[in-house]
Structure 1
Amino acid sequence: MGTVLSIHISSIKGVEKNTVGEAKVLEGWGLENDAHGGNWDRQVSIFPVEAMNKVPAEKYDEVINGGYTENITISGIALDQFSTNSLVQIGNEVLIQIKHVGKEKYKETGRPYIVSREGRFGVILKGGNIKTGDVVSLVECGSAAVTMNKNF
């Protein structure tokens, strides 16, 4: 099990996101008031802090001091278990299916350096509210959380 460390939104793409304590997650869309929401396969971005171990020493300060570019920062989920098609439940309501690990084109500066390589991007199967401190877990296809959702 993992934990939501922080949540971030921005109404404009390509800029650092603002940290918020909680957010409304809209089914089939993404985080309310976030520019990346929409009818596509990267509605939400999740960054597991465990991926910071993959940042080269010479880039570490730049990455750690860069502004947030992901929607949700989490800890406690092993990277090798958190891959494409993983189903992620946040709190008691929100269910996300991971569609991509990283981006097609890597970024070379700031926090996007690692998020573009190790960020998890997905779609919202079930919306609801999330907040800092919520439990994050990977769920199996046959679990109650998933079978409640007719989209899966």
Structure 2
Amino acid sequence: MGTVTAICISKQRGTPKQPVFSAQFVPDYGIQGDAHAGNWHRQVSLLQQEKIDAFRERGVAVAAGAFGENLAVTGIDFRALPVGTQL
């Protein structure tokens, strides 16, 4: 089981995502209030927290949402999940 370490949204496309305390997830849409939500193939973007941590270990100051992710999570190996997996 994974753990969510950050939830991030952006009000407009092309702008950095900002951390929020909570979010409303809408089936077949994405996160309410996120510019990338909608009726298409990539409604919620996930990133392993370990990837963010690796950048930080190299001295790069990256904040949650810097990579455009909606959710940063630990404990899930995304490479091991088949295409089409729903979480």
TM-score by length of 2: 0.79
* Aligned amino acid, residue 75 of structure 2: G
Structure 2 residue 29 is the aligned partner of structure 1 residue 29 = yes
Q: Number of residues paired by the alignment? A: 84
Q: CA deviation at 1:83?
A: 4.2
* Aligned amino acid, residue 37 of structure 1: A
> What is the distance in 2 between the residues matched to 1:41 and 1:75?
23
Structure 2, unpaired ranges of 5+: none
> What is the distance in 2 between the residues matched to 1:12 and 1:31?
13
> What is the distance in 1 between the residues matched to 2:28 and 2:85?
17
Greater strand share, structure number: 1
RMSD (Å), alpha carbons: 2.3
In structure 2, the CA distance between the partners of 1:34 and 1:52, relative to structure 1 (3 Å rule), is: closer
Give 1 or 2 for the bigger CA radius of gyration.
1
2:59 to 55, 58, 61: 61
Q: CA deviation at 1:47?
A: 0.6
Q: CA deviation at 1:54?
A: 7.3
Indicate if the aligned counterparts of 1:50 and 1:79 stay in contact, CA closer than 8 A: no
Q: Matches of residues 2-151 of structure 1 in structure 2 within 5 Å?
A: 2-52=2-52, 60-62=58-60, 64-66=61-63, 68=65, 69-88=68-87
> What is the distance in 1 between the residues matched to 2:84 and 2:49?
20
Structure 1, unpaired ranges of 5+: 89-152
> What is the distance in 2 between the residues matched to 1:15 and 1:67?
13
